[in-house]
Amino acid sequence: MKCVRTTLKGWREIPEGGTITEPGSSVNFDVTAWRTSSPLIDQNKCTKCGLCFLYCPDSAIEIDVDGNYHVNLSYCKGCGICAKECAPKAITMVKEGH
């Protein structure tokens, strides 16, 4: 059995009956498991223009201290807008679960 979301808790670890036992647990909530493909940024082609950051409807593009752009897969739904808008064509969509 292939599990594509190994970071999520298994059935033995989830509190009985799906009870939420601690506050603020929504930060651990994966809202992207239905994503069918994810963006892959080619850092050599990227010009750091920031279009992907601006267009992403889920604020899933993050900028690190060096000014490089990365995809936060905990939020990315795989819509492909970033790849579509990327001026230097540095983003390719890679299919999930293959």
Partner 1 sequence: MNKKVGISGNYAVAYAVKMADVDMIAAYPITPQTTIVEKLSEFVANGELDASYMNVESEHSAISACIGASLTGARVFTATSSQGLALMHEILFMASALRTPIVMANVNRALSAPLNIWNDHSDAMAQRDSGWIQLWARSAQESFDDTIEAFKIAEETRLPVMVNLDGYIVSHMYEPVELPDEEDVRKFIPSRPLENRVSIKNAHAVGVVGPPEYYYEMKYQAIDAIERSRHKVKEIENDFNRRFGKNYREIEAYGMEDAEAALILMGSIFGSAKEIANDLRGKGRKVGVVSLRVFRPFPAQELREALDGVKAVGVVDRATTPGGSGNPLYTEIATALYGMPERPAIQGFVAGLGGRDMREDDFRLMYSATEKAAREGAGRCIYVGLRE
Binding site for partner 1 (CB under 8 A): 5, 8-11, 14-21, 23, 29-31, 33-34
| Cα(11)–Cα(35) distance, integer angstroms | 21
Identify which of residues 35 and 48 has a Cβ nearer to partner 1 in the complex.
35
Least separation in angstroms between CB 15 and partner 1: 8
Helix (H/G/I), strand (E/B), else coil: 34: coil
Least separation in angstroms between CB 25 and partner 1: 9
- Pairing state of beta strands 61-63 and 37-41? unpaired
Helix (H/G/I), strand (E/B), else coil: 47: coil
**Residues 43/68, Cβ–Cβ less than 8 Å:** yes
Identify which of residues 10 and 67 has a Cβ nearer to partner 1 in the complex.
10
Identify which of residues 12 and 89 has a Cβ nearer to partner 1 in the complex.
12
User: Given the structure tokens 């651990």, which residue do they identify?
Assistant: 28
- Taking every pair of Cα atoms in the chain, the longest distance, rounded to a whole number of angstroms, is 49
Least separation in angstroms between CB 28 and partner 1: 11
Identify which of residues 9 and 45 has a Cβ nearer to partner 1 in the complex.
9
